[in-house]
């Protein structure tokens, strides 16, 4: 009987092991593995029951008691380790101790991925798979199961590489809803970055390209490369899928109808009256406006600001805390670490933004307009009105005490805007008929100062039909952002701390972008290389090869001589 018991024992171990191995190797649930494991378990169970039946006094033996306790303890330890591993895999917790949180996704990246409503897949045409790239993609996947990725060997799966139009080894593509876009090309010296991937995700989710027009022609910073330029800011917007174009209202008397955002910045000359009217018409029709005026720069939009309850203070913000002196920038540079509760400044926490030569923004109550402070200075700042004196000191009678607001976001509700249910399709085509006086108008003899000459009227042979549904409708709300500084967005200042985020988030909010696009931009690692001169290299070599070993050898000789006496 013992002979058959051994047969069943070995058979049970074999079938159980085979079932477990097949189940682990199979990508899907394996029926064969389950059956084999079940047969092996039944065989081992039968052997155990038969052994216990043959030995009636087995459970009363001291060795059985000790063995049972050891078996239970071992099983408990294994169970605890299994639970710990399960929790570690499914509920992992990581600590990123790097300076710029290089191994932690930024809020922008997490929100973009979390808001995915359909599958998105990243194809990395590179082999072998780089561990750093895989770790980055896994971080994205943790935030949403709809995010998928795959490493593809373009030489093995040649047809897939041709389908994506892969030009070189290392191309990274993103696919969503039938749309495909090149993210970047990775190499041993240039791996996949969060900035490139996040921007690609934001771009591929847009149904159309937002257009931003930047007013030019009055001494404003240019859009081309240069010292006083917005080129870095423009490049950042372009990378994020925005269209950016300069606008000169003397050659184009109206703001283009496809403009999502119009930006007006500090210049050296006032705007012409015709330009001011064009901007007012754009805003009154529901267009979004970003205004950035430095201290003591010409302000031509005071009439529009009065309608919105905005007042630009003429004084220069002076920081009396000494923060600017610590960084060698002086008191005319304002450091902001306090932010308002708004989508533009969300997740800024106590981050730093820097505004040189800034002015304060004041607001008054206006009907249907809601102002929200964005950038608040510290209590030791004030707006200085008299800059002619040698020593700048706070004068409570003339100066404006802090904390001051450097930026404000304004939202105007438009009650006259039609609701979506009120919009009816047109029944008839409306023809505009002109009177003889309208067909042959008499040109005005005098023009008010600053007005542009009106172009001559061109008589059309036939009236132009105008469809009602082609008339622009007023949106439910109009947005405006006014900042008392434009230098922060110019080259050099734009890349400092949160300056780029303040500017981009303002554009994104004004253009009506999804809130997932408003947050901290991904950060690149800081350059911490130690650049030393050739003299220090030679000195370090002498220290390592001769001086330090020589000191050790001399110390050993001295100790030997001391002990030998």
Domain contains 245: yes
Pick 458 or 364 by higher pLDDT.
364
Whether 322 is covered by a domain: the verdict is yes
Neighbours of 373 (CB within 10 A): 20
**Of 477, 439, 434, 479, nearest in space to 459 by CA:** 439
Choose the weakest-confidence range: 46-60, 159-173, 286-300, 332-346: 46-60
pLDDT for residue 237 is more than 80: yes
- Decide if 556 is inside a domain: no
Boundary of a domain, candidates 517, 534, 550: 517
| 547 pLDDT higher than 50 | yes
Residues 145 and 10 in one domain: no
The stretch 506-525 carries a mean pLDDT of: 67
In order of 68, 284, 287, 319, the CA distances from 250 in angstroms are 94, 20, 19, 39
Last residue of a domain, one of 23, 39, 59: 59
Task: Please tell me the predicted confidence (pLDDT) of residue 423.
Answer: 45
Other CB atoms within a 10 A radius of the CB of residue 518 amount to 23
Confidence at residue 410, expressed as pLDDT on a 0 to 100 scale: 93
pLDDT: is 272 or 85 the higher one? 272
Looking up residue 239, the CATH number of its domain turns out to be 3.40.50
| Residue 124 pLDDT exceeds 60 | yes
In the listed set 204, 235, 270, which residue is the last one of a domain according to the structure?
Answer: 204
CA separation, residue 190 to residues 123, 133, 137, 164, 235 (Å): 17, 11, 16, 21, 20
Give the chain's domain count. Answer: 3
pLDDT of residue 60: 62
What's the pLDDT score for residue 96? 75
Span 411-428, pLDDT tens digits? 998 877 665 444 444 444
Instruction: State the average pLDDT for the chain.
Output: 80
Residues 338 and 284 in one domain: yes
Instruction: Verify that 291 and 199 share a domain, yes or no.
Output: no
Q: What is the pLDDT of residue 147?
A: 93
Q: How far is CA 543 from CA 229, 546, 547, in A?
A: 48, 6, 5
- Does the structure show a pLDDT above 80 at 230? yes
Query: Has residue 448 got a pLDDT over 70?
Result: no
Token digits of residue 425? 């399709």
282 and 221 housed in the same domain:
yes
Task: Give the rounded percent of residues in the chain with a pLDDT score beyond 90.
Answer: 23
pTM: 0.58
**Position of tokens 């955002």?**
261
Label each residue of 47-115 as H, E or C. Answer: HHHHHHHHCCCCCCCHHHHHHHHHHHHHHHHHHHHHHHHHHHHHCCCCCCCCCCCCCCCCHHHHHHHHC
Q: Is the pLDDT of residue 240 over 50?
A: yes
Q: Is residue 15 part of a domain?
A: yes
Mean pLDDT in residue range 277-293 = 93
Per the model's pLDDT, the better-predicted residue between 89 and 435 turns out to be 89
Percent of the chain at pLDDT > 70 equals 81
Q: Which tokens hold the place of 465?
A: 């039909």
Q: Which residues, other chains included, contact 445 with Cβ-Cβ below 8 Å and sequence gap of 6+?
A: none
- Looking at residue 480, the DSSP 8-state letter turns out to be E
Q: Identify the pLDDT of residue 472.
A: 61
Q: How far apart are alpha carbons 153 and 143 in whole angstroms?
A: 26
Parallel/antiparallel/unpaired status of strands 211-215 and 261-265: parallel
Asked if pLDDT for residue 429 goes beyond 70, the answer is: no
Q: For residue 139, what is the enclosing H or E element?
A: helix 131-143
Residue 335 lies in a domain: yes
Higher pLDDT, 425 or 395: 395
In a domain, 424, yes or no: no
Write down the pLDDT at residue 457: 46
Structural domain span for residue 169: 107-204
Q: 428-434 contacts: CB < 8 A, separation 24 or more? A: 429/465, 429/466, 429/467, 430/465, 430/466, 430/467, 430/468, 431/463, 431/465, 431/466, 432/463, 432/464, 432/466, 433/463, 434/463
Who's near 407: CB < 8 A, 6+ residues apart?
A: 361, 373, 374, 375, 481, 482, 483, 484, 485, 502, 506
Print the SS3 string covering 261-310.
EEEEECCCCCCCHHHHHHHHHHHHCCCEEEEECCCCCCCCCHHHHHHHCE
Average pLDDT over residues 271-298: 91
Residue 123 has a pLDDT of 94
Residues 195 and 216 in one domain: no
Does any domain span residue 387? yes
- In this structure, of 58-62, 95-99, 126-130, 189-193, the range with the lowest mean pLDDT score is 58-62
Please check whether residues 326 and 376 belong to one and the same domain.
Answer: yes
Confidence of residue 432 (pLDDT cuts 50, 70, 90): very low
Report the pLDDT averaged over residues 467-491. 79
The verdict on residue 391 lying in a domain is yes
The long-range contacts involving 488-492, CB below 8 angstroms and separated by at least 24 positions, are: 488/353, 488/354, 488/355, 488/356, 489/230, 489/233, 489/265, 489/292, 490/221, 490/228, 490/229, 490/230, 490/232, 490/233, 491/225, 491/226, 491/227, 491/228, 491/229, 491/230, 491/231, 491/232
Q: In terms of domains, do 362 and 482 share one?
A: yes
Pull the structure tokens for residue 89: 């895999």
Which residue did the predictor score with more confidence, 244 or 97?
244
pLDDT digits (tens, 9 = 90+) for 43-64: 877 777 777 666 656 656 677 6
What is the rounded CA–CA span in Å between residue 88 and residue 105? 20
Which candidate, 307, 313, 449, places its Cα nearest to that of 382?
313
- In this predicted structure, what is the pLDDT of residue 212? 93
Long-range contact set of residues 522-530: C-beta below 8 Å, sequence gap at least 24: 522/105, 522/106, 522/108, 522/109, 522/193, 522/194, 522/195, 522/198, 523/100, 523/101, 523/102, 523/106, 524/100, 524/193, 524/195, 525/98, 525/100, 525/102, 526/99, 526/100
Asked whether residue 118 falls in the same domain as residue 37, the answer is no
Q: Do residue 482 and residue 355 come from a single domain?
A: yes
As a whole number of angstroms, the distance between CA 481 and CA 374 comes to 9
CB 400 within 8 A of CB 360: yes
Confidence band of 524 (pLDDT split at 50, 70, 90): low
> Are 316 and 370 in a shared domain?
yes
At residue 468, the pLDDT reads 40
Beta carbons of 244 and 234 less than 8 angstroms apart: yes
CB-based contacts of 376, cutoff 8 Å, min separation 6: 336, 338, 339, 340, 403, 404, 405, 406
Question: Strands 361-363, 353-356: parallel, antiparallel or unpaired by DSSP?
Answer: unpaired
- In the prediction, which pLDDT does 463 show? 39
How far lies 509's CA from each of 111, 260, 307, 344, 502, in Å? 15, 11, 21, 7, 11
CA atoms within 13 A on the CB side of 135: 10
Same domain, 257 and 299: yes
Element (DSSP H or E) covering residue 175: strand 171-176
Report, in angstroms and rounded to the nearest whole number, the Rg of the chain calculated over CA atoms.
36
The answer to whether residues 227 and 199 belong to one domain is: no
């Amino acid at each position: 009987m013992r002979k058959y018991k051994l047969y069943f024992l070995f058979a049970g171990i074999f079938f159980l092991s085979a079932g477990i191995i097949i189940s682990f190797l199979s990508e899907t649930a394996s029926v064969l593995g389950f059956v084999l494991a079940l047969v092996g378990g039944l065989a081992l169970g039968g052997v155990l029951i038969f052994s216990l039946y043959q030995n009636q006094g087995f459970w009363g033996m001291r060795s059985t008691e000790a063995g049972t306790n050891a078996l239970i303890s071992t099983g408990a330890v294994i169970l605890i380790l299994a639970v710990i591993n399960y929790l570690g895999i499914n509920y992992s917790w990581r600590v990123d101790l790097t300076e710029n949180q290089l191994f932690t996704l930024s809020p922008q990246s997490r929100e973009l991925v979390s808001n995915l409503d359909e599958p998105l897949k990243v194809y990395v045409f590179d082999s072998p798979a780089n561990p750093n790239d895989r770790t980055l993609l896994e971080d994205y996947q943790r935030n949403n199961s709809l995010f998928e990725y795959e490493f593809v060997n373009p030489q093995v799966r040649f047809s897939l590489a041709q389908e994506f139009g892969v030009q070189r080894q290392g191309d990274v593509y993103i696919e969503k809803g039938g749309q495909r876009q090149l993210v970047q090309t990775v190499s041993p010296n240039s791996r996949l970055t969060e900035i490139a991937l996040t921007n690609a995700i934001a771009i591929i989710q847009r149904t159309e390209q937002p257009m931003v027009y930047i007013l030019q022609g009055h001494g404003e910073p240019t859009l081309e490369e240069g010292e006083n330029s917005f080129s870095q800011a423009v490049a950042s917007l372009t990378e994020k899928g925005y269209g950016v174009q300069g606008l000169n209202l003397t050659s184009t008397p109206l703001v283009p109808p496809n403009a999502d955002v119009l930006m007006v910045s500090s210049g050296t000359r006032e705007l012409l009256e015709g330009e001011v009217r064009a901007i007012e018409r754009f805003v009154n029709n529901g267009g979004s406006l970003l205004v950035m005026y430095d201290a003591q720069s010409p302000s031509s939009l005071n009439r529009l600001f009065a309608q919105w309850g905005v007042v630009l203070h003429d004084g220069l913000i002076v920081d009396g805390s000494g923060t600017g002196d610590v960084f060698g920038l002086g008191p005319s540079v304002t450091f902001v670490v306090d932010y308002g509760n708004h989508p533009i400044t969300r997740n800024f926490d106590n981050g730093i933004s820097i505004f040189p030569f800034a002015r304060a923004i004041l607001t008054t109550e206006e009907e249907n307009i809601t102002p929200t402070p964005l950038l608040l200075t510290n209590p030791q700042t004030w707006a200085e009105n008299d800059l002619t004196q040698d020593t700048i000191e706070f004068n409570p009678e003339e100066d404006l005490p802090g904390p001051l607001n450097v930026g404000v976001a304004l939202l105007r509700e438009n009650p006259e805007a039609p609701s979506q249910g009120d919009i009816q399709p047109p029944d008839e085509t409306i023809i505009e008929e002109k009177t003889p006086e309208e067909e042959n108008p008499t040109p005005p003899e005098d023009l008010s100062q600053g007005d542009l000459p009106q172009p001559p009227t061109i008589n059309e042979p036939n009236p132009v039909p105008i469809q009602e549904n082609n008339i622009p409708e007023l949106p439910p709300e109009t947005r405006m952002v006014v900042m008392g500084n434009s230098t922060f967005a110019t080259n050099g200042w734009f890349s400092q701390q949160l300056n780029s985020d303040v500017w981009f988030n303002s554009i994104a909010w004004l253009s009506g972008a999804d809130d997932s696009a408003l947050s901290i931009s991904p950060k690149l690692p800081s350059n911490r290389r130690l650049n030393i001169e050739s003299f220090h290299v030679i000195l370090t070599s002498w220290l390592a090869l001769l001086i330090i070993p020589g000191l050790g050898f001399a110390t050993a000789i001295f100790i030997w001589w001391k002990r030998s006496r």
